[in-house]
Amino acid sequence: MLEVLERGERLQLMKFVCSFAWADLEVQPEERAFVASLIKRLSLDPDEAGQVETWLRLPPRPESIDPSQIPAEHRRLFLAEVRGVIEADGIVGEDERENLRLLEQLIP
């Protein structure tokens, strides 16, 4: 399913994933590994991967994350990958759980 995403959609997905990795204010090694795996699965080019690395060092600005901009046909995919990153370290904190719940409500 990831192969249907266009360049902008791939980066949008990664921005969401990275923002959720930061939900508890710290990106865990397991979350970084999940992101690295997703970079490979998406076949991101070096520039795209570099942008993602930037988001892992400094979270995306909150105003740049707009759930209404997720294409309807990709909402389940985005939710699955966001869920994957928050579960990657085996600990789903209350902030992560609440942010996921909110995202699920915003993109039914």
| Three-state SS at 106 | helix
Q: Which residue from 102, 106, 108, 76 is spatially nearest to 23, judged by alpha carbons? A: 102
Q: Which residue from 1, 33, 31, 11 is spatially nearest to 93, judged by alpha carbons? A: 31
**pLDDT tens for the chain, residues 1 to 108:** 788 899 999 999 999 999 999 988 999 999 999 999 999 999 999 999 999 999 999 999 999 999 999 999 999 999 999 999 999 999 998 888 999 999 999 887
Which pair of tokens denotes residue 87? 């579960």
